[in-house]
Amino acid sequence: MGTIVCQTCNSTIGHFEDEKVTTLYGKCTQCDHEEVDEQE
């Protein structure tokens, strides 16, 4: 099973079907609404 994790706050967004254990990074709805400044 694959897991989708928010790259901003590291919260689990959701899951998807996969043969292997996979982690994808995305944005949760909360962070998607916020303007995030990238810091070096």
Binding region for Zn ion (CB under 5 A): 6, 8-9, 28, 31
- Write the burial class of residue 21 (CB in 10 Å: 0-12 exposed, 13-18 middle, 19+ buried): exposed
Name the minimum Å distance from CB 22 to Zn ion: 19
Name the minimum Å distance from CB 5 to Zn ion: 9
- Choose between 2 and 27: whose C-beta lies nearer to Zn ion: 27
- Choose between 19 and 29: whose C-beta lies nearer to Zn ion: 29
| Residue of 10, 40, 37 whose CA lies nearest to 24 | 10
